[in-house]
Amino acid sequence: MCGIFGFLGNRSAAPLLVEGLRKLEYRGYDSSGIAVKNDNLQVHKIVGKVSELSKILPNHIDGNIGIAHTRWATHGLVTNENAHPHLNSDGTVALVHNGIIDNARGIRTRLESKGIQLRSETDSETLVHMITIGLNSGQEPLEAVRQTLKRVTGTWGLCVLFKDHDLIICARNGSPLIIGKGDDETFVSSDPHALSQHTQNIFFLEDGDMAVITKSGIDITRLEGGSSDTSITVLEEEWGEADMAGYPHFMLKEIYEQPEALRRCISGRLDYKNGSSKLGGLKLEPVRLHSATHVRLIGCGTAYNACRIGQLAIESLARIPAVAHVASEFRYNNSVINPNAIHFAVSQSGETADTLSAVKEIQLKGGSVHGIVNVVGSSIARLCGQGVYIHSGPEQAVASTKAFTNMVGALLLFAMRMGRTRSFSREKGQLIVKNFEKIPDLMEKYLSNPGPIDEAVELVKDAKSVMFLGRGLSSPVASEGALKLMEIAYIPCLAYPAGEMKHGPIALLEEGSPVVVIAPNDKHREKTMAAMHECKARGAKIILIHEEGDSIAEEADVAIPIPACDPLLSPLLSVVPTQLIAYQTALALGCDVDRPRNLAKSVTVE
């Protein structure tokens, strides 16, 4: 989704801005642009990739202050005019903006009635003209931005550049913005990935913060006036340079990184002695775990699928009601919040607007929320103030893979911890710990010999639609497999609990319809097999993900074996073939695997 990068220092700004935009590319975008201050404000922007922008840039651009943007269209089509930065009418103010200005329509009308011609269809452009009106009435830049933001409603992470001032003004409300302090230079971005190569010294702006960046430093104040409490944080997590390490795509690299990522997630957290797990960041004492009334897990997309696995594992191990919620629904359903319940917000990026809003809603109603988050210092992590980092490392492909397995890993750790407090014995816990420790090796074993993925691809790549079936813990795995194939190969997919299939979706099946069945050797195996037979009887072709050595394989058109494991942990293995099927199918269809159309890595608008 939209990304911001800015620089103020002694070096030439333009190459740093372009490099910053490259770091933001993984988020998904449709156009990009930069503005550099020299004698004028020099703006270049274009539809397409950052490589297209590079082609239209002059060989050299003077100036060591600039702002840059990748746009993911919300208001207005994908056009050069709608790309950011937006300039005011006389070219003296430039602005980049993430978020949505809710009252932009009325403001446009008022601006137009004053004779101001807007060049784009965006809500963002209104801001640059309002700031200009403030400047023309004698306000200093900070005041002009402040008064503008006081007149608008909505969300923003924004940077403003002025022809006549050596500074950048930044502001945040509901859309992340981070300032990085280097030696005699300052960076700003909406994404910590883009700053990590420059500095680890970071100011995470809070909602309502404004910052003035000059050569002499960073001054952070509040929109309503007065100073801000925001202070410098040293990023501990080493995000490093996420390169492809010889893989053709980030997605494949991240699929293959899962064993190592899961090791990081569980390392030091599995507690064999007590048959439990250690999750210090949760700050949940045994008495609280014991007295909790229920558990709610909230997320979007892949994170929601992980929540559904968490729900089942928590109910099963801890014998406490647990419910998974889609964040975008939860926020608006006026849910009843019990302060004794335990709430989890699950998010790779920690910036997903729907999940963030749900967290605020729970907190507003007196509940506390724990984050299960990948990106350290992200908005959800900071807002929750307690939780579990899943330690997947940077996930660059839009389609989430290693974050999914680590979310599931973290939720299973929690289920064990809660289960040990409330229900099961040390011996049972020790058995789970032993089995859990083996999973990264089993993932590696599977990935070294992933089975006939190419045969599965042949069955699905030209299909009208693909059905995914699973029962119990494999039902959310089916949903995750369907989501992955749909989002990167653009094939309509339907995921159903295997037993529910006969209540409707079976009508879709015809001769040759591909059905992916997830059937580990658990208590649901027989029932899943029955659903599979119902599909076969209608001419469907079965792609079966099953345990090695299980005779169920004989029933399949394509049988993909995964190593045998504790059924509780099976989603960590059974999801991997579905990721590979999606990846290989997208390649076979010539899709852009890492940057699927219309999608964004971090969805920061509701």
Which sequence positions are flagged as catalytic?
2, 601
State whether the Cα torsion 402-404-409-410 is positive or negative: positive
Contacts of ligand F6R in 349-388 (CB under 6 A): 349, 352, 355
Is residue 66 a contact partner of residue 34, using CB atoms and an 8 Å limit?
A: yes
Please report how close the Cβ of residue 302 comes to ligand F6R at its closest, in angstroms.
3
Q: Is 432 in the site for ligand F6R (CB under 6 A)?
A: no
Q: How far apart (Å, rounded) are the C-alpha atoms in residues 302 and 320?
A: 24
Q: Tell me which stretch binds ligand F6R (CB under 6 A): 255-263, 290-298, 341-349, 580-588.
A: 341-349
| Positions 463 through 522 that interact with ligand F6R (CB under 6 A) | 483, 487
Chosen residue from 297, 469, 580, 603 binding ligand F6R by CB under 6 A: 603
Shortest spacing between CB 407 and ligand F6R, in angstroms: 8
Contact 258, 405 (CB under 8 A): yes
Compute the least distance from the CB of residue 602 to ligand F6R, in Å. Answer: 6
Distance CA 191, CA 378 (A): 9
In the set 221, 392, 405, 602, which binds ligand F6R (CB under 6 A)?
602
Cβ neighbours of residue 511 under 8 Å, at least 6 residues apart? 539
**How many residues lie near ligand F6R (CB under 6 A)?**
15
Q: Output 563 or 596, the one with its CB closest to ligand F6R.
A: 596
- Give the separation between CA 520 and CA 499, rounded to whole angstroms: 15
Least distance CB 30 / ligand F6R (angstroms):
17
CB count within 10 Å of CB 36 equals 26
Least separation in angstroms between residue 578's CB and ligand F6R is 12
> How do strand 369-373 and strand 387-389 relate by DSSP bridges?
parallel
Near ligand F6R by CB under 6 A: residue from 3, 20, 28, 301: 301
Query: Considering beta carbons, is residue 318 or 478 the nearer one to ligand F6R?
Result: 478
The reply to whether 30 sits near ligand F6R by the rule CB under 6 A is no
Q: Give yes or no for residue 303 binding ligand F6R (CB under 6 A).
A: yes
302 binds ligand F6R (CB under 6 A): yes
**Minimum distance from CB of 460 to ligand F6R (Å)?**
17
Based on CB atoms, which residue is closest to ligand F6R, 82 or 406? 406
Which secondary structure element, helix H or strand E, spans residue 56, and what is its range?
helix 50-56
**Ramachandran region of residue 28, left (φ > 0), alpha (ψ -120 to 50) or beta?**
left
CB of residue 385 to ligand F6R, shortest distance in Å? 18
Instruction: Please answer whether residues 83 and 74 qualify as being in contact, where contact means their C-beta atoms are separated by less than 8 angstroms.
Output: no
Q: Report d(CA 70, CA 21) in Å as an integer.
A: 7
Nearest to 515 by CA among 496, 500, 499: 496
Q: Mention every residue, 6+ apart, whose C-beta is less than 8 A from residue 284.
A: 342, 370, 417
State which of residues 335, 347, 396, 585 lies at the interface with ligand F6R (CB under 6 A).
347
- With contacts defined by CB under 6 A, name the span among 30-38, 74-82, 146-154, 294-302 that binds ligand F6R: 294-302
Nearest-angstrom CA–CA distance, 112 and 94: 19
Instruction: Please tell me what DSSP assigns to residue 101.
Output: B
Q: Binding ligand F6R by CB under 6 A: which of 348, 379, 392, 396? A: 348
Q: Does a cis peptide bond (omega within 30 degrees of 0) precede residue 85? A: yes
Footprint (CB under 6 A) of ligand F6R, residues 382-401: 399-400
- Determine how many CB atoms are found less than 10 A away from the CB of residue 153: 11
Answer yes or no whether residue 410 interacts with ligand F6R by CB under 6 A: no
Using CB atoms, what's the residue nearest to ligand F6R? 301
Report whether 547 contacts 560 (CB < 8 A): no
Judged by beta carbon, residue 122 or residue 347, the one nearer ligand F6R is 347
> Where do contacts with ligand F6R occur on this chain (CB under 6 A)?
300-303, 347-349, 352, 355, 399-400, 483, 487, 602-603
